């Protein structure tokens, strides 16, 4: 989702780029990461990751190889050629027990394997010595790919009733807005660790309700607790990321409801 968004953004701005995917860029094959970054490259965007949160619980070493060890290899290569690396991280590096938005410098206390792997990735990038932007984000979706918005849109068209958890709160993020915010941060000279999501916050139930309403669906969306849908990986009850630093540099970020509306009218049901 994020890689495709970057391609669209750079094309629109007429900025030359190369977009690599497997097998030419494979987090399980470190040699491909080194080969992907050439001398003369100024900016490298790593939009690849192990994102199977539940799968990480049963194979944390694999998640760590992808999210931490590979990130370190890529960062070290960027340091060698003098490129800046934009690397994406997650709200899951925090404990999920806060009562107000997490600032960038909040303590790192991941509650599951996926969060630990991403926290290790942050450390690897910082330790590489390369110029970098680590951008934490959350609840990413797009008109394409596998994501919550497309799933709920499909189910709301097929069912009369849906139950969605109402005890997990965070910030949805349009992948296209994330790419645009990331580029804006880079062009503004940002470095180090930042947060980028859409503005506002909600629960998954609120998010699903908005999706159904904006689509004009007659499906009834009902609230439930996380206990109704047990998962292998624990989820944070509160993982809203503080945006003050980011908005202070690049200006206000769009409200998640506005971003959702723009995406829903362009959903690609083919993939």
Mean pLDDT of 6-32: 97
How does DSSP classify residue 254? P
Read off the pLDDT of residues 125-157 as tens digits, 9 standing for 90 and up: 999 999 999 999 999 999 999 999 999 999 999
Q: How confident is the model at residue 74, as a pLDDT?
A: 98
Separation between Cα atoms, residue 199 and residue 245, nearest integer Å: 13
pLDDT in tens, 35-57: 999 999 999 999 999 999 999 99
pLDDT of residue 169: 98
pLDDT at 270 over 70: no
Buried b (16+ CB within 10 A) or exposed e, 181-214: bbbbbbeeebeebbbbbbbbbbbbbbbbbbbbee
Q: What is the pLDDT of residues 69-120, one digit of tens each?
A: 999 999 999 999 999 999 999 999 999 999 999 999 999 999 999 999 999 9
Q: In the chain, what are the domains?
A: 2-146+172-200+242-254 (3.40.50.720)
By three-state DSSP, how is residue 199 classified? strand
pLDDT of residue 269: 60
pLDDT on residue 271:
63
- Whether pTM > 0.85 for this model: the answer is yes
**Active-site amino acid positions:** 114
d(CA 172, CA 141): 8
3-state secondary structure of 7: helix
Cα dihedral 56, 44, 87, 27, rounded to 10, equals 10
For residue 203, the model assigns a pLDDT of 98
Alpha-carbon distance 204 to 213, whole Å?
A: 14
């Amino acid at each position: 989702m994020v890689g495709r968004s970057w391609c669209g953004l750079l094309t629109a701005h007429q900025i030359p780029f190369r977009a690599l995917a497997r097998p030419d860029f494979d987090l399980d094959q470190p040699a491909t990461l080194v080969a992907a970054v050439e001398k003369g490259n100024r900016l490298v965007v790593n939009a690849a990751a192990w994102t199977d949160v539940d799968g990480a619980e049963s194979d944390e070493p694999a998640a760590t190889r992808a999210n931490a060890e590979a990130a370190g290899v890529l960062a070290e290569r960027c340091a060698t050629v003098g490129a800046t690396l934009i690397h994406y991280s997650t709200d899951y590096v925090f404990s999920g027990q806060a009562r107000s938005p997490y600032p960038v410098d909040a303590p790192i206390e991941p509650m599951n394997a996926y969060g630990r792997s991403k926290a290790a990735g942050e450390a690897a990038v910082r330790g590489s010595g390369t110029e970098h932007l680590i951008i934490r984000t959350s609840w990413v979706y797009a008109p394409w790919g596998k994501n919550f918005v497309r799933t709920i849109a499909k189910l709301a068209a097929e069912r009369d009733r849906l139950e969605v958890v109402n005890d997990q709160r965070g910030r949805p993020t349009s992948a296209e807005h994330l790419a645009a915010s990331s580029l804006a941060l880079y062009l503004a000279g940002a470095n180090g660790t930042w947060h980028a999501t859409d503005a506002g916050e909600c629960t998954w139930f609120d998010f699903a309700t908005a999706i159904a309403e904006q689509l004009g669906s007659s499906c009834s969306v009902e609230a439930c607790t996380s206990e109704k849908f047990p998962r292998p990986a624990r989820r944070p009850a509160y993982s809203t990321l503080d945006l003050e630093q980011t908005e202070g540099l690049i200006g206000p970020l769009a409200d998640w409801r506005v971003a959702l509306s723009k995406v829903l009218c362009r959903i690609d049901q083919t993939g």
